Amino acid sequence: MIKDILLNIDFHNRILISIVAVFLIYIVKNTVAYYINRKIKNINVRHGYRKLTVYISSVIILLILGFVWIRRINVGIIFSIVGAGLVISLSDFILSFIGWFFIIIRKPFEIGERVQIGTIKGDVVDIRGFYITLLEIGDWVEDEQSTGRIVHIPNNFIFRSPIYNYTKGFDFIWDEVKIGITFESNYKKAKDICLKYLDEFHSTWAKDLDKKIKQAQNIYAISYKELSPTVYVKIIDSGILLSLRYLVEPHKRRFSENFLYEKVLDEFSKANDINFAYTTYRITK
């Protein structure tokens, strides 16, 4: 019936209906945007809802103009075209909402856990329907300390970027502190000093390590035959490289490195047969 009425409207009335429809939708869109700006404080969320309002109002206008101006049209075709356009224009919102369900159900990470998404690293501080919020670490700050910046990432990243979780399943990561000494140094003595302080650091928190490994193995196929800290020796251009490898909680990484460097510096300074290596240049004629 509506279709027959629209087909019998003359040209001038079609223009009038189109102008009135566009004007009314414009007023409604601005009214909704006004309330969004007043009620929603988060700038990113506010911007997202404003964009959604623009998309919806544009689709409604196109739908009305299509009914008014296109004669003898199949209503099903109109809805199919509009529906396809709506899905394409709102694909990011739809994927973000689906991503939110995936995060809630599968729990690849939870609030308080440290993650890396693509190139962005941070601690998860909020999870919402369309985005997650990270407290950023790294970037211009060394050793993955907090930068103080808040980063909002749309939930559709779940389907587009790899997710690295520092603490899921297993509460520790492997870290390495590298120290270079000269070829003339007593590398065995230097290695024993490093192992001494590695064991000291390791003993302060590793009492339940075997238990935590078994808990992680109930979820993931994690297989570590050796969990004790160790020191690897390698010959490099400038001397001998000692790599101190050990397990540490992600949030204590910088603390552990500082502890080891200070202890090793103090001990090496007392030894006459251990010297730090550094790059040197010789000019010959």
161 plus 185 within the same structural domain: no
Mean pLDDT of the chain: 81
Residue 218 lies in a domain: yes
Domain that includes residue 161, residue range: 102-165
Quickly list H helices, 1-123: 2-7, 11-39, 43-69, 75-89, 91-106
Residue 116 lies in a domain: yes
Residue 265 lies in a domain: yes
157 plus 177 within the same structural domain: no
Residue 206 lies in a domain: yes
Final residue of a domain: which of 43, 68, 89? 89
178 plus 142 within the same structural domain: no
188 plus 263 within the same structural domain: yes
183 plus 263 within the same structural domain: yes
Q: What is the CATH number of the domain that holds 253?
A: 3.30.70.100
List CB contacts of 163: < 8 A, sequence separation 6 or more. 108, 109, 115, 116, 117, 157
Percent of the chain with pLDDT over 70: 79
Question: How long is the chain?
Answer: 285
Residue 224 lies in a domain: yes
User: Token match 């001038």: residue?
Assistant: 12
User: Token match 């087909």: residue?
Assistant: 7
- Cα-Cα-Cα-Cα torsion 249, 255, 256, 260, nearest 10 degrees, comes to 180
Closest by alpha carbon to 209, among 228, 230, 194?
A: 228
113 plus 75 within the same structural domain: no
Residue 97 lies in a domain: no
Q: Strand pairing partners for 117?
A: 120, 163
Q: What is the pLDDT of residues 140-166, one digit of tens each?
A: 887 778 888 899 998 888 888 888 988
Using CA atoms, how far apart are residues 185 and 158, in angstroms rounded to an integer? Answer: 50
Percent of the chain with pLDDT over 90: 21
Q: What is the pLDDT of residues 131-141, one digit of tens each?
A: 899 999 888 88
Residue 12 lies in a domain: yes
Asked whether 256 and 178 are in contact (CB, 8 A), the reply is no
72 plus 47 within the same structural domain: yes
Which pairs from 21-26 meet CB under 8 Å and 24+ separation?
Answer: 21/61, 21/64, 21/65, 21/68, 22/61, 25/57, 25/60, 25/61, 25/64, 26/57
Q: How many domains are contained in the chain?
A: 3
Nearest-5° angle of CA 11, CA 17, CA 21? 150
pTM exceeds 0.85, yes or no: no
72 plus 112 within the same structural domain: no
